[in-house]
Amino acid sequence: MALKGKAGIIGRSIVLLILILAMVAGGIVWFDYLNLIDAKTVLAPLYRFIGREGRSQAGLPPEESLSLDAERLAVRLEALELRTMEMDRQEQDMRTRQAELEQMAQELEERQKALDERENSFNAMVEQAEIKEKNVEQYARYLNGMPPERAVGIITAMDDQAAIDVLRMTEEIARQEGATSIVSYWLSLLPPERAAELQRKMTARPPNLN
């Protein structure tokens, strides 16, 4: 029984092997017939055995023969060209970005320059105002130290804004020193119309507004 079983297994294995070889051979024949592979040299005996001629591929002239190396080179050249194009695009983007950054830097520099000019102008105005205030204070003290009639004659010759500045500074000095202001007396010595005009402008404008 054991021998018969082994003989049966060997027989089935041989049959399966024959089937596999037949399928492989049939596949090779079919692929050769479809011109996907060139198996006529290897399978020539088989073709002659079955009474058929293998389908041979049309021969190509030497100058038109396909070269795998040439195809690989062409693929690499194409990839290199694409890479070069990509690098050129990236370089162009970088140049554009650099130009934008340079423009932004220039705008910031111009804004900073404008701010510096405004600050310098403001500082100059403050300095001029401080100098003017010191001059007005000095002039007010000078007038306050002379006879009222003479001081009023000088105030009368001033323009309205200069006279108002002196009158206000005189009042500020008196307030700081705790003394009585002489401004009211000066106004009483001025021509009535001029005194009224100066009082109106002093009331209409806040102090230190020039």
Dig out the tokens for 40 from the structure: 């006529």
pLDDT of residue 152: 92
The CA distance from 142 to 166, in Å, is: 10
H or E element at residue 158: none
- For the entire predicted model, the pTM comes to 0.43
pLDDT of residue 169: 92
Dig out the tokens for 99 from the structure: 């130009």
Domain boundaries, the chain: 1-55, 129-204
Ramachandran category for residue 208: left, alpha or beta (phi over 0 → left; psi -120 to 50 → alpha): left
H or E element at residue 34: none
Tokens 């100059």 belong to residue: 124
Q: Which residues contact 152 (CB under 8 A, 6 or more apart)?
A: 186, 189, 190
pLDDT of residue 57: 47
pLDDT of residue 209: 41
Contact 66, 74 (CB under 8 A): no
Which pLDDT tens digit goes with each residue over 57-69? 444 455 544 566 7
Cα-based distances in Å from 31 to 19, 60, 100, 116, 182: 18, 20, 61, 85, 126
Q: Which regions in the chain score pLDDT beneath 70?
A: 1-8, 29, 31-68, 205-210
The CA distance from 179 to 67, in Å, is: 115
pLDDT of residue 24: 78
Dig out the tokens for 173 from the structure: 């000095």
The CA distance from 198 to 159, in Å, is: 10
For the stretch 131-158, what's the b/e string if a residue is b when 16 or more beta carbons lie within 10 angstroms of its beta carbon?
Answer: eeeeebbebbeebbeeeeeebbeebeee
pLDDT of residue 43: 56
